[in-house]
């Protein structure tokens, strides 16, 4: 049975272009092995993280209702998250960074609902429910951090990407999927890693999105908090990795004070991080975020902002000083003395004000693009937008008047005024003209036979950002990932092993079971001699019920450590969890 996507008031607020990424959690697809992986990681994490994690983590586990023994049902989690003003949705692995951040802006936590394989229990490059649910969710119970996360999403989704950013996203997504999947050949992984490495070394100047993604990585994912000498963990990547949460506390990992310089520090998702950044408190995170936002085209606009949009080759928006917003694919800018004096989009373009499309100025009106001059008129100190109705009349900027606008940058607009459009503050933001010609030196930018001309009024480009001003202006339901997560193959052997895990889980929970502990252990020894987690679970139950049987299992585990030294520390950790519980009991 396929589970439906349950909604709530917070999810209902999401724009339709974000909903395309949401999928059902399908809780019944989690196997008993998946549940055992969750339980092992969570028990180990809570034991260890109680000493090294920020106090908000353990408090948040209780507040968000995340169970140590069972993978959280997202819809049950949502009923509790609602109390702190957040919600969660399930997605399939990595989604584009801009979408991920926009979800955060709506107070929605994105959770990759798959769970790592037993073979990758310590760390997986793929996002999974341990990382998202047990890493991100508890910390957002801290109000200061939750506001940072929301604000980060609000600013981050406006960051302008480069043309190569999406290619890098797809390469990382593919690598994370095949590294987590069973039976992927070493050659396929090598090729995927080579592609990621090649792209990382040939990204040119880092885009705004690349830089803010770095800030996200070094805070939300891999952040430390406190002093350099005695930091605590708050980053979800560390909170959800039983290997790296211990590794990061050693002197082998360099600790740096968190500043805006972290935006220049690249990362490798496939390896433990050689350095981490430490913020003194959560409030400092917001200070650095605002400092970075002040460098973004979102706030600086101008010629550089327009050039960023042109280089991105993606849908973007500029806002002029009157508040009019032009959304489309920008491909041309004419500059004069370091300022943009004319811009041009190609293809469907829409005009908006205050993030709402202007009536009659949808993409249907501008299917082939939109261009307009910016700046002041030559020889007139008063900009058009600052003119009163009397000033406009005095300069002949009036209905049915034939006019010649000669801009300081050299763009000339000749035509007959039809009408003007004003914003709520009374500023004129658009002038419609007929029989219009627009030129720049000898270049003709608009001809009368192309129809009426709309002149966007504004002396400056004050903002440039990724995406449309009004999401409803464009069809944004276009996401088709090049790869999807790979599920475990359901072989007869795998199904039988899952039934053994389920029997042990049933015994722990006091339910009817297919196999007794002894029978499960006998079958395990006979057919699944490489599996280490199930004997650890059986040992945990036997130690209270049958000490002699528990001793037999312990001997078996000691032999298994010799045969599989790569998992010896995991076996020891599992046994230690049981023994430490006995001591505390």
Supply the CATH number for residue 380's domain.
2.30.30.100
Asked whether residue 3 is assigned to any structural domain, the reply reads: no
39 and 161, same domain (yes or no): yes
132 and 14, same domain (yes or no): yes
pLDDT at 486: 56
Q: What percent of the chain has pLDDT over 70?
A: 96
Q: Quick check: 123 pLDDT over 90?
A: no
Asked whether residue 487 is assigned to any structural domain, the reply reads: no
CA separation for the pair 387, 489 (Å, rounded): 71
Tell how strand 275-279 and strand 224-226 pair up: parallel
425 and 536, same domain (yes or no): no
Mean pLDDT value across residues 155-179 = 82
Parent domain of 563: 492-584
Q: Quick check: 2 pLDDT over 50?
A: no
Mean pLDDT value across residues 521-538 = 95
86 and 186, same domain (yes or no): yes
277 and 405, same domain (yes or no): no
CA separation for the pair 154, 148 (Å, rounded): 10
pLDDT digits 0-9 by tens, 176-224? 777 767 777 888 888 888 888 777 777 678 899 999 999 999 999 999 9
CA separation for the pair 474, 468 (Å, rounded): 8
* pLDDT classification of 581: cutoffs 50, 70, 90: low
The residue whose two tokens read 């001591």 is 583
Burial degree of 396 (CB within 10 A; 0-12, 13-18, 19+): exposed
392 and 331, same domain (yes or no): yes
pLDDT at 484: 60
DSSP type of residue 463: E
Asked whether residue 482 is assigned to any structural domain, the reply reads: no
Q: How far is CA 376 from CA 240, 247, 339, in A?
A: 56, 59, 11
CA separation for the pair 42, 239 (Å, rounded): 10
Q: How far is CA 565 from CA 557, 568, 572, in A?
A: 11, 5, 11
Asked whether residue 272 is assigned to any structural domain, the reply reads: yes
**Which strand (E) or helix (H) includes residue 57?**
helix 55-63
CA separation for the pair 565, 570 (Å, rounded): 10
DSSP type of residue 358: P
469 and 542, same domain (yes or no): no
Q: What percent of the chain has pLDDT over 90?
A: 62
Asked whether residue 119 is assigned to any structural domain, the reply reads: yes
CA separation for the pair 397, 403 (Å, rounded): 7
24 and 50, same domain (yes or no): yes
123 and 188, same domain (yes or no): yes
Asked whether residue 139 is assigned to any structural domain, the reply reads: yes
Q: What pTM was computed for the model?
A: 0.86
pLDDT at 513: 87
Mean pLDDT value across residues 549-564 = 95
pLDDT digits 0-9 by tens, 411-450? 999 999 999 999 888 889 999 999 999 999 999 999 999 9
Mean pLDDT value across residues 127-148 = 87
Give the 3-state secondary structure of residue 344. strand
191 and 224, same domain (yes or no): yes
CA separation for the pair 171, 165 (Å, rounded): 10
Asked whether residue 554 is assigned to any structural domain, the reply reads: yes
CB 539 within 8 A of CB 578: yes
Q: How far is CA 209 from CA 34, 163, 490, in A?
A: 34, 11, 39
416 and 442, same domain (yes or no): yes
Q: How many helices (H) and strands (E) does the chain have?
A: 23, 17
What token pair was written down for 47?
């034991």
Which CATH number covers residue 111? 1.10.800.10
Give the 3-state secondary structure of residue 479. coil
CA separation for the pair 484, 539 (Å, rounded): 37
Task: Say how many domains are in the chain.
Answer: 3
Last-in-domain residue among 259, 291, 323: 291
DSSP character string of 224-262:
EEE-SSSEEE--HHHHT-TTHHHHTTSTTSEEEE--GGG
Last-in-domain residue among 417, 439, 473: 473
Mean pLDDT value across residues 105-134 = 85
Asked whether residue 541 is assigned to any structural domain, the reply reads: yes
CA separation for the pair 415, 464 (Å, rounded): 29
266 and 336, same domain (yes or no): no
pLDDT at 4: 61
pLDDT digits 0-9 by tens, 290-315? 999 999 999 999 999 999 999 999 99
């Amino acid at each position: 049975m396929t589970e439906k996507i349950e909604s709530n008031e917070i999810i209902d607020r999401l724009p339709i272009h974000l909903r395309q990424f949401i999928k059902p959690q399908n809780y019944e697809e989690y196997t008993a092995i998946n549940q055992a992986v969750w339980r092992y990681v969570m028990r180990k994490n809570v034991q260890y993280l109680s000493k090294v994690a920020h106090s908000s983590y353990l408090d948040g586990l209780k507040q968000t209702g995340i169970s140590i023994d069972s993978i959280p049902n997202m819809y049950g989690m949502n009923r509790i998250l609602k109390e702190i003003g957040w919600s969660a949705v399930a997605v399939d692995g990595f989604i584009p960074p801009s979408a991920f951040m926009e979800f955060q802006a709506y107070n929605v936590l994105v959770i990759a609902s798959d769970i790592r394989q037993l073979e990758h229990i310590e760390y997986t490059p793929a996002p999974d429910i341990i990382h998202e649910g047990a890493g991100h969710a508890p910390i957002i119970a801290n109000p200061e951090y939750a506001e940072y996360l929301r604000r980060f999403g609000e600013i981050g989704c406006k960051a302008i990407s480069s043309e190569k950013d999406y290619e890098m996203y797809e390469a990382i997504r593919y690598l994370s999927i095949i590294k987590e999947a069973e039976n992927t050949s070493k050659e396929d992984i090598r090729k995927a890693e080579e592609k990621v490495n090649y792209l990382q070394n040939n990204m040119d100047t880092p885009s705004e999105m690349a830089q803010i993604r770095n800030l996200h990585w070094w805070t939300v994912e891999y952040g430390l908090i406190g002093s350099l000498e005695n930091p605590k963990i708050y980053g979800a990547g560390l909170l959800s990795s039983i290997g790296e949460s211990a590794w990061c506390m050693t002197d082998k990992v360099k600790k740096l004070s968190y500043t805006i310089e972290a935006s220049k520090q690249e990362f490798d998702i496939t390896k433990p991080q050689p350095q981490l950044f430490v913020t003194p408190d959560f409030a400092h995170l917001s200070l650095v975020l605002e400092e970075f936002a002040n460098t973004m085209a979102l706030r600086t606009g101008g010629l550089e902002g327009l050039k960023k949009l042109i280089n991105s080759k993606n849908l973007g928006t500029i806002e002029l000083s009157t508040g009019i917003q032009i959304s489309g694919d920008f491909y041309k800018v004419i500059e004069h003395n370091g300022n943009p004096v004319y811009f041009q989009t190609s293809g469907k373009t829409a005009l908006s004000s205050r993030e709402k499309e202007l009536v009659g100025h949808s993409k249907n009106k501008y299917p082939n693009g939109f261009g307009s001059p910016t700046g002041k008129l030559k020889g007139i100190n008063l900009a058009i937008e600052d003119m009163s109705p009397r000033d406009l009349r005095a300069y002949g900027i009036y209905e049915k008047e034939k006019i010649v606008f000669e801009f300081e940058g050299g763009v000339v607009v000749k035509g007959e005024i039809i009408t003007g459009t004003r914003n709520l503050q009374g500023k004129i933001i658009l002038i419609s003209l007929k029989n219009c010609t627009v030129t720049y030196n000898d270049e003709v930018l608009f001809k009368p036979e192309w129809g009426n001309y709309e002149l966007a009024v504004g002396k400056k480009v004050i903002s440039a950002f990724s995406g449309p001003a009004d999401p409803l202006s464009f069809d944004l339901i276009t996401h088709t990932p090049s790869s999807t997560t790979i599920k475990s193959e359901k072989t007869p052997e795998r199904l039988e092993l899952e039934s053994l895990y389920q029997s042990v889980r049933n015994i722990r929970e006091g339910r009817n079971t297919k196999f007794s502990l002894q029978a499960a252990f006998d079958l395990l020894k006979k057919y699944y001699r490489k599996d280490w987690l199930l004997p650890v679970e059986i040992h945990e139950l036997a130690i209270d019920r049958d000490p002699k049987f528990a001793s037999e299992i312990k001997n078996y585990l000691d032999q298994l450590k010799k045969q599989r030294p790569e998992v010896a520390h995991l076996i020891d950790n599992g046994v230690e969890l049981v023994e430490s519980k006995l001591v505390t009991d």
